Amino acid sequence: MIERIQKLRDQSRNAIPSLSIERAKLLTEFYKSGNVEKVSTPVARALAFKYLLENKEICINDDELIVGERGPAPKATPTYPEICCHSIKDLDILDSREKISFKVSDETRKLTEEEIIPFWKGRSIRDRIFDKVDYKWIDAYEAGVFTEFMEQRAPGHTVGDGKIFVKGFADFMVDIQQSFENIDYYLDAEALDKREELKAMEIAATAIMAYAERHVEKAKELAKKEKNTKRKKELELIAQTCTHVPENTPRTFREALQHYWFIHLGVITELNTWDSFNPGRLDQHLYPFYKKEIDEGTLTKEEAKELLEAFWIKFNNQPAPPKVGVTAEESNTYTDFCLINLGGLKEDGSNGVNELSYLILDVIEEMRILQPSSMVQISNKTPDSFLKRVLEIVKTGFGQPSIFNADIIIQEMLRVGKKIEDARNGGASGCVETGAFGKENYNLTGYFNLVKILEVTLNNGFDPRTKKQIGLRTGDPTKFKTYDKLFEAFSKQVKHFVDIKIKGNNIIEKLWADCLPSPFLSIIIDDCIMNAKDYNAGGARYNSSYIQGVGLGSITDSLTSIKYNVFDKKTCSMKEMLDILSNNFKEKEDFRQKLICDTPKYGNDNDYSDEQTKEVFELYFNAVDGRPNTKGGHHRINLLPTTVHVYFGSVIGATPDGRRAFEPLSEGISPVQGADIQGPTAVLKSASKIDHIRTGGTLLNQKFTPSFFATDKGIENILHLVRGYFKLKGHHIQFNVVSADTLRKAQKNPEKYRDLIVRVAGYSDYFINLGPKLQDEIIRRTEHGSD
């Protein structure tokens, strides 16, 4: 690693995450100024965005090549009181909690108490959401049946496409102008709304250009003072770069990176969008710039790598905005899920791997930092040599990149009516979510706790933890004569809670559209400008609302256990089973062992258990898929957990699969931790029995000890494993290569393992930053160690 990068990387890794009051203070000033009431909501939002960019501190760090920070300094993380107005108690928790903490200064605390809370209480969208949803929603939410993504963070979940690399904001201004001219004031009832939205986009476009100009001034000022002539030149080059972008189309590799970075900052300053933002298919977008400059001799491979690494560090400087309560539980990490896509197919269907794809892999291997995340899209046209290079990085145990099936991602998009070019230009973002990059609003709306619903079903609609009748009265389970009767009751409850969730989603989506439009994000996502409609109001070409099913392994094994033990083998009655569960296996360890060891389990390529997997999948799919959202699009499913399987487990008593009360559920579509005893091929076979093409993404985690990757032959076998899974139409697989011993040592002696990164679920995190339960779980996850 070259010295500059080493220094920047250390700077970034050693920066302590803190809460910055700057954004909240400026925003509150603006909202108190009296300018908000005079204009429409979109225009007010754009003016607020402009005010922030005009007044926030400009930060250029020592030796940087790519400039711009969201906060006043690296890892100084803003709050978004218009979304979630943190209480003083929240601040205390953020400041003092052991994991994922943010330092809170006295000044921040004081300003929050005196200025921010008095103004935003009752106005924040979080307060409005909890005010607008009905009691059934609240009861289910509090019971832990589902979570809500938009109560502390904004809809985003979207990714940039190639257009932002070939267009400057001056070009976007022309597009906006064109759209203004297309408004039909005589025949279009929405004409006025459209005009206001376009006005807002225009203000936002101007604001980002002016923001870049402030960096020009700052860089010039620093250059003037700089004694070191080399650095002086660099600062002058930064000034030159920021003069050109983001106003104009980038001309060089460096300009392309800086151009994107301004856009990134724009998106994450406007709102705290989920999954921050993401350049998407970076090797595809940057390749023309790279090729041209290499050919012309104005850039070397080494310089390109240095610029990329400097760019990488910028992501690491922006931790995910602080989250509290259930939101913190469901996504307990500093990672903000920016998932760089490499490889895949080009728009014309040919292999997308290029020289830059390999260079970016080198960058990933060398940087080994938390952010950004990375993934590769592997199609049957992708050369093995590329996948092999990927596995050599995976082997180092850093958890990146994760591996996706490009051909299936495309089929998933075609199934829901997206154009083939849009599908090929798309990929996966966040953890594993499929989307048409630059053209789609695809929100995760909340996790859905399938196992909790079984618990509620087994209690005739009653939740033993919150002591409320939250579900339907589907009957006393001890009276069910067959397994089918039980499954029928479970099906009714699933549909019931999906109904509640979707009703809530539609209320919440509408609130976002009405109260917090995002004109800046709307500029860069097709076809918001053309439709003169906001991103949050359905302006995008495609609009999908995902509900993420959680605990496929746990629900399969629980249903299988009842089917097997109560109905087929009759080893116990339903009453006995329920009594033992309500006592959390007290004095019934033998029985629990039978449930664990002598009952068929998902993940072993056993049709007896996997039949339940398929049934649950079909049930959940049919309950959700195709139901309209408020944006002219539809609800879809995907199967991923982030960290919510720990929280979801903590609200459920003992389950028929032998899981003790409050322990974590299985994650993604992976088997229950330790239940897969037939090796990885059996896991992949089980996981491929559901139809991935009808989802918007599934997450499969496979842990390997390093020994599997030790030889060339070993790596080749893993490669074949991946190819086999993808032939079986699996969506995604990620490998955790680490020994359990190392993890145990890390648990005992965290300060010695600060650099240890493990794959959690769709993302990597520092092992020592995980809660003890999650740490334990990662240790337990089946190790397919060699003998």
Partner 1 sequence: MGQKGIIFDIKKFAVHDGPGIRTTVFFKGCPMHCWWCHNPESHKIEPETITRKVVTSSSKACYEKKEVIGREVITEEVMKEIEKDLIFYEESKGGVTFSGGEPLFQPEFLIDLLKKCKKRGIHTTLDTSGCASKIELLKIIGLVDLFLYDLKFVDEEKHLHYTGESNNQILDNLKTLAKKGKKIIIRIPIIPTVNDDQNTINQFGELLSTIDILRVELLPFHKIGEEKYLQLNKVNRMKDIQKPTKEHIEAIKESLEKFGLKVKVEE
Q: Which residues are catalytic?
A: 431, 433
State which of residues 38, 121, 720, 744 lies at the interface with partner 1 (CB under 8 A).
720
State which of residues 727, 738, 755, 765 lies at the interface with partner 1 (CB under 8 A).
727
If the CB atoms of residues 206 and 681 are measured against partner 1, the closer one turns out to be: 681
Tell me the residue length of the chain: 787
If the CB atoms of residues 223 and 682 are measured against partner 1, the closer one turns out to be: 682
C-beta of residue 332 within 8 angstroms of C-beta of residue 643: yes
Q: How far is the CB of 787 from partner 1 (least distance, A)?
A: 7
- Of the listed pieces 40-48, 334-342, 492-500, 716-724, which binds partner 1 according to CB under 8 A? 716-724
If the CB atoms of residues 215 and 703 are measured against partner 1, the closer one turns out to be: 703
Residue 713 in contact with partner 1, rule: CB under 8 A: yes
Residue 679 in contact with partner 1, rule: CB under 8 A: yes
Residue 750 in contact with partner 1, rule: CB under 8 A: no
Residue 590 in contact with partner 1, rule: CB under 8 A: yes
State which of residues 37, 106, 295, 787 lies at the interface with partner 1 (CB under 8 A).
787
Q: What is the DSSP letter of 492?
A: H
State which of residues 55, 206, 622, 681 lies at the interface with partner 1 (CB under 8 A).
681
Give the Cα separation of 426 and 410 in Å (integer).
8
If the CB atoms of residues 724 and 771 are measured against partner 1, the closer one turns out to be: 724
SS3 state at 640? coil
Give the Cα separation of 280 and 421 in Å (integer).
15
Residue 741 in contact with partner 1, rule: CB under 8 A: no
Residue 589 in contact with partner 1, rule: CB under 8 A: yes
- Of the listed pieces 87-95, 178-186, 474-482, 711-719, which binds partner 1 according to CB under 8 A? 711-719
Closest residue by Cα to residue 486 from 560, 591, 592 = 560
Q: Is 127 exposed, middle or buried (0-12, 13-18, 19+ CB in 10 A)?
A: middle
State which of residues 660, 744, 752, 754 lies at the interface with partner 1 (CB under 8 A).
660
Q: What is the DSSP letter of 320?
A: P
State which of residues 232, 723, 745, 773 lies at the interface with partner 1 (CB under 8 A).
723
Give the Cα separation of 540 and 452 in Å (integer).
34
Q: Tokens for 221?
A: 């000022």
If the CB atoms of residues 606 and 622 are measured against partner 1, the closer one turns out to be: 606
State which of residues 162, 724, 750, 771 lies at the interface with partner 1 (CB under 8 A).
724
Q: Is 607 exposed, middle or buried (0-12, 13-18, 19+ CB in 10 A)?
A: exposed
If the CB atoms of residues 72 and 674 are measured against partner 1, the closer one turns out to be: 674
User: How many beta carbons lie within 10 A of that of residue 291, not counting itself?
Assistant: 15
Q: How far is the CB of 180 from partner 1 (least distance, A)?
A: 56
Question: Contacts with partner 1 in 604-633 (CB under 8 A)?
Answer: 605
Question: Contacts with partner 1 in 116-175 (CB under 8 A)?
Answer: none
State which of residues 162, 714, 750, 771 lies at the interface with partner 1 (CB under 8 A).
714
Instruction: List the Cα angle 375/383/738 in 5-degree steps.
Output: 45
Q: Tokens for 507?
A: 């209320």
State which of residues 200, 721, 746, 770 lies at the interface with partner 1 (CB under 8 A).
721
State which of residues 216, 223, 693, 728 lies at the interface with partner 1 (CB under 8 A).
728
Residue 587 in contact with partner 1, rule: CB under 8 A: no
Q: Tokens for 322?
A: 């602080």
Q: How far is the CB of 449 from partner 1 (least distance, A)?
A: 22
Residue 680 in contact with partner 1, rule: CB under 8 A: yes
If the CB atoms of residues 427 and 603 are measured against partner 1, the closer one turns out to be: 603
Q: Print the binding letters for residues 429-458 with partner 1: x by CB under 8 A, - otherwise.
A: ------------------------------
Residue type, 542: Y
Q: How far is the CB of 786 from partner 1 (least distance, A)?
A: 7
| Residues sharing a CB contact under 8 Å with residue 293, sequence separation 6 or more, in sequence order | 252, 253, 299, 304
Residue position matching structure tokens 């072993």: 604
Element (H, E) at 339: strand 339-343
Count interface residues toward partner 1 (CB under 8 A): 27
Question: Contacts with partner 1 in 758-777 (CB under 8 A)?
Answer: none
| Residues sharing a CB contact under 8 Å with residue 562, sequence separation 6 or more, in sequence order | 483, 486, 574, 577, 656
Residue 388 in contact with partner 1, rule: CB under 8 A: no
If the CB atoms of residues 614 and 784 are measured against partner 1, the closer one turns out to be: 784
If the CB atoms of residues 88 and 710 are measured against partner 1, the closer one turns out to be: 710
If the CB atoms of residues 43 and 733 are measured against partner 1, the closer one turns out to be: 733
Tell me the torsion sign for CA atoms 311, 316, 322, 325. Answer: positive
Element (H, E) at 400: none
SS3 state at 459? coil
Question: How do beta strands 764-766 and 634-639 pair?
Answer: unpaired
If the CB atoms of residues 386 and 437 are measured against partner 1, the closer one turns out to be: 386
Give the Cα separation of 621 and 410 in Å (integer).
19
- Of the listed pieces 43-51, 131-139, 544-552, 674-682, which binds partner 1 according to CB under 8 A? 674-682
C-beta of residue 11 within 8 angstroms of C-beta of residue 74: yes
Please tell me whether the peptide bond between 372 and the residue prior to it is cis, using omega within 30 degrees of 0: yes
Element (H, E) at 44: helix 41-55
C-beta of residue 45 within 8 angstroms of C-beta of residue 516: yes
C-beta of residue 515 within 8 angstroms of C-beta of residue 41: yes
Residue 329 in contact with partner 1, rule: CB under 8 A: no
Residue 685 in contact with partner 1, rule: CB under 8 A: yes
C-beta of residue 468 within 8 angstroms of C-beta of residue 159: no
Q: How far is the CB of 462 from partner 1 (least distance, A)?
A: 27
Q: Tokens for 728?
A: 């079986």
C-beta of residue 463 within 8 angstroms of C-beta of residue 143: yes
Give the Cα separation of 149 and 508 in Å (integer).
10
- Of the listed pieces 31-39, 172-180, 291-299, 589-597, which binds partner 1 according to CB under 8 A? 589-597
Residue 210 in contact with partner 1, rule: CB under 8 A: no
Q: How far is the CB of 134 from partner 1 (least distance, A)?
A: 39
Give the Cα separation of 427 and 159 in Å (integer).
9
Residue 706 in contact with partner 1, rule: CB under 8 A: no
Conformation bin of residue 475: beta by default, left when phi > 0, alpha when psi is -120 to 50:
left
Report H helices in 103-190. 106-111, 117-120, 125-132, 135-143, 163-166, 169-182
Q: How far is the CB of 321 from partner 1 (least distance, A)?
A: 35
Residue 586 in contact with partner 1, rule: CB under 8 A: no
SS3 state at 443? strand
699 backbone dihedrals φ, ψ, rounded to 5°: -120, 125
Give the Cα separation of 721 and 499 in Å (integer).
39
State which of residues 249, 466, 678, 747 lies at the interface with partner 1 (CB under 8 A).
678
- Of the listed pieces 116-124, 163-171, 316-324, 779-787, which binds partner 1 according to CB under 8 A? 779-787
Residue 780 in contact with partner 1, rule: CB under 8 A: yes
State which of residues 6, 385, 583, 593 lies at the interface with partner 1 (CB under 8 A).
593
If the CB atoms of residues 331 and 655 are measured against partner 1, the closer one turns out to be: 655
C-beta of residue 265 within 8 angstroms of C-beta of residue 212: no
Residue 717 in contact with partner 1, rule: CB under 8 A: yes
State which of residues 597, 626, 628, 749 lies at the interface with partner 1 (CB under 8 A).
597
If the CB atoms of residues 292 and 780 are measured against partner 1, the closer one turns out to be: 780
Give the Cα separation of 465 and 81 in Å (integer).
32
Q: How far is the CB of 720 from partner 1 (least distance, A)?
A: 4
Instruction: List the Cα angle 408/369/305 in 5-degree steps.
Output: 85
Q: Which residues bind partner 1 (CB under 8 A)?
A: 589-590, 593, 597, 605, 660, 678-682, 685, 708, 713-714, 716-717, 720-721, 723-724, 727-728, 780, 784, 786-787
